[in-house]
Amino acid sequence: MPYVPGKPVEELERELGIKDAIKIASNENPLGPSPLAEKAVKEAVSSLNRYPDGDAFYLKEKLARKFGISPETLIFGNGSNDVIDIAARTFMEPGDEAIFGEYAFIVYPIVTQAVGAKGVISPMPDYTHDLRDMYSRITEKTKIIFIANPNNPTGTMVKRAEFEWFLEKVPEDILVLMDEAYFEYVEDKDYPNSLEYQNSGKSILTVRTFSKIYGLAGLRLGYGIAHQDIISNMQRVRQPFNANSLCQVGAMAAIDDIEHIEKTKEVNSEGLTYVTEELKKLDIPYTPSFTNFVLIDLGDNPMPIYNSLLKEGVIVRPVLGYGLKTHLRVTIGLREENEKFIRGITKILGK
């Protein structure tokens, strides 16, 4: 099944002849890009005749300093999707197996299938990865275990004790791909930041992105961190200029924009509290979220409500492709966007 992105605002407004539609469908940063990144990108536009630095030297140095790691342990991608794809192409071939959760991020089955490997699905009770079950599914053919922490579209996270149990057990030659696209949003002290386990002797690939908290989804930049042997193998598979020149300067500026990051966290935390309080009042079950979105369960085919929300000018995300047949995923937006969503759903449900 191909990846189905969220509906663009312009498309909805054109189709329904409405104005002021909002898109809370793709887990983007509602505050916009970091203003420092915007400025840096504008200044770099005049050099677009030049190829980018294929090695992203300055960005690599900067991120390496930020995390206290060696630059050789870093790889960039055209979004973290690209890093995930490079990992699949580097470490799997037809006949191999990859393990992922039944409601895990949909790119894992896509990249697994693309290389002719077999996807082994682990059930997700309570919509959370079950690392004991994932461990039990390992065979000699297993090459990659994909774990989104926190996971999209469920918003759930694996906690430290379970992760440490798993890491202790997992064979050293299996790549444990920790997809941490939303880690900056996590406030829970029990979150196992996979960077802290890079020296455990296990093959951990930490994957992160500039698309979420940094607000640079349109620029496309993600990165992977792992032992340099893992990274050097991946470097041979990636396209030479997969991190373009604008995303490199944009990301460097965004890293320094602490104010924007802090503000984003604050807006998200307040918004998540507001939306979940209102969902409780409306008796709509939701999965407790550690991210910038929330999975709601409407108990029935969600498409009529999704379509009615569109008419109210609110784009959320159906998640049928994940086998979540009664759910919608709602990204936390600005205060007025969250209110518009709550007003819309209240009206539609006749509450």
Ligand X SMILES: Cc1ncc(COP(=O)(O)O)c(C=O)c1O
- In the complex, the residues that contact ligand X under the rule CB under 6 A are 27, 79-81, 105, 148, 152, 179, 181, 209, 211, 217, 222
Minimal distance, residue 113 CB to ligand X, in Å: 17
Token readout for 159 is 């906690």
Minimal distance, residue 173 CB to ligand X, in Å: 24
Token readout for 164 is 């440490």
Identify which of residues 322 and 341 has a Cβ nearer to ligand X in the complex: 322
The Cα–Cα gap between 282 and 96 comes to: 46
Identify which of residues 219 and 342 has a Cβ nearer to ligand X in the complex: 219
Identify which of residues 241 and 351 has a Cβ nearer to ligand X in the complex: 241
- Residue 75 CA neighbour count, 13 Å, CB half: 31
Minimal distance, residue 87 CB to ligand X, in Å: 12
Residues 6+ apart with CB under 8 A from 114: 85, 88, 89
Token readout for 280 is 């409780």
Residue 242 near residue 305 (C-beta atoms within 8 A): no
Tell me which residue of 114, 238, 131 sits closest to 174, measured CA to CA.
131
Identify which of residues 185 and 197 has a Cβ nearer to ligand X in the complex: 185
Which residue is it, tokens 């819309």?
Answer: 344
Minimal distance, residue 300 CB to ligand X, in Å: 26
Minimal distance, residue 140 CB to ligand X, in Å: 28
Identify which of residues 105 and 163 has a Cβ nearer to ligand X in the complex: 105
Q: Which residue is nearest to ligand X (CB)?
A: 79
- Total number of residues shown for the chain: 351
> Given CA atoms 248, 252, 253, 255 in this order, what sign does their dihedral have?
positive
Helix (H) or strand (E) holding 325: none
Minimal distance, residue 281 CB to ligand X, in Å: 28
Residue 287 near residue 98 (C-beta atoms within 8 A): no
Identify which of residues 29 and 152 has a Cβ nearer to ligand X in the complex: 152
Residues 6+ apart with CB under 8 A from 276: 286, 288, 289, 294
The Cα–Cα gap between 227 and 206 comes to: 10
Minimal distance, residue 243 CB to ligand X, in Å: 11
Identify which of residues 26 and 308 has a Cβ nearer to ligand X in the complex: 26
Identify which of residues 29 and 312 has a Cβ nearer to ligand X in the complex: 29
Range 107-140 burial, b when 16+ CB lie within 10 A, else e: bbbbbbeebebbbbbbebeebbbbbeebbeebee
Tell me which residue of 290, 279, 286 sits closest to 129, measured CA to CA.
290
Minimal distance, residue 210 CB to ligand X, in Å: 7
